[in-house]
Amino acid sequence: MKYTDEQRISKITEYTDKLLDYIRHTGLTREIVAENETVRWTLTTPLYNIGEHTYYLSNEFRTKHSDIPWGKIAGLRHRLVHDYEYTNWNIVCDIIFDVLPEFRKQLECLKNS
């Protein structure tokens, strides 16, 4: 199925919300991520999906909203998929705990524009 940019943003928002809800409801911490492989696998699925939809946003859309680092978001997905064994989980923790909440706010602004 070919998605429109608006549909992709909706899917990205959905996966972001699910990931943030998971973090909140489980009381996830950096220590748990470091110690628990099952949790790491659980975190990667929404990150894959966010990155995949980001990768296929149109160039026009990404250019129009260049304040969001689309290339880095898609790059994270590629890194997790193709170089999983060498994932730096400290960086992933920075993303999910520090960057993701702000990214969610940016997505809300996109939906309202």
pLDDT tens for 9-20 read 999 999 999 999
Band (pLDDT 50/70/90 cuts) for residue 85 is confident
- Looking at 24, 77, 79, 104, which residue is catalytic? 77
DSSP 84: G
Whose tokens are 């919300």? That residue is 17
Catalytic one of 8, 30, 62, 82: 82
pLDDT score, position 11: 97
At residue 111, the pLDDT reads 77
79 included as an active-site residue = no
Q: What average pLDDT does range 49-56 have in this prediction?
A: 97
Report d(CA 76, CA 87) in Å as an integer: 10
Q: Which domain holds residue 56?
A: 5-111
What are the Cα distances from residue 66, in Å, to 26, 37, 59, 70, 110? 33, 34, 10, 8, 12
Is 65 one of the annotated active-site residues of the chain? no
- The count of domains in the chain is 1
Q: What is the mean pLDDT of residues 93-109?
A: 96
